[in-house]
Amino acid sequence: MLTDLVDELLARPLPWPIVQAGDPVLRNPALPYAGELADGTLAALIEGMKVTMHEAPGVGLAAPQIGLPVRLAVVEDRAQERPGVPASTLEARGIAPLPFRVLVNPRYTPLGEERAAFFEGCLSVHGWQAVVTRPLRVRLETEDETGSSLEEELAGWPARIVQHETDHLGGTLYLDRAELRSLSTHAAVAERWAQPTPENAAKELGFELP
- What one-letter code names the amino acid at 25? V
Q: 3-class SS at 123? A: coil
Residues 6+ away with beta carbon under 8 Å from 58: 123
Is 8 labeled as catalytic in the residue annotation? no
Cis omega before residue 57 (within 30°)?
Answer: yes
- Residue 27, Cβ density class (10 Å: 0-12 exposed, 13-18 middle, ≥19 buried): middle
Distance of CA 91 to the CA centre of its chain: 20
What's the CA gap between 118 and 23, in Å, rounded?
Answer: 26
- Determine whether the annotation assigns residue 54 to a binding site: no
CB count in 10 Å sphere of residue 181: 14
Q: State the greatest distance between any 2 C-alpha atoms of the chain, in Å, as a whole number.
A: 53
Task: Tell me 37's DSSP state.
Answer: S
- Determine whether the annotation assigns residue 186 to a binding site: no
Catalytic choice (8, 165, 179, 204): 165
DSSP one-letter string for 154-209: EEHHHHHHHHHHHHHHTT--GGGTEEEEEEEEHHHHHHH--SSSSHHHHHHHT---
Give the residue numbers annotated as catalytic, written as ranges.
165
Going by the annotation, the residues of the binding site are 122, 164, 168
Going by the annotation, the residues of the binding site for Fe cation are 122, 164, 168
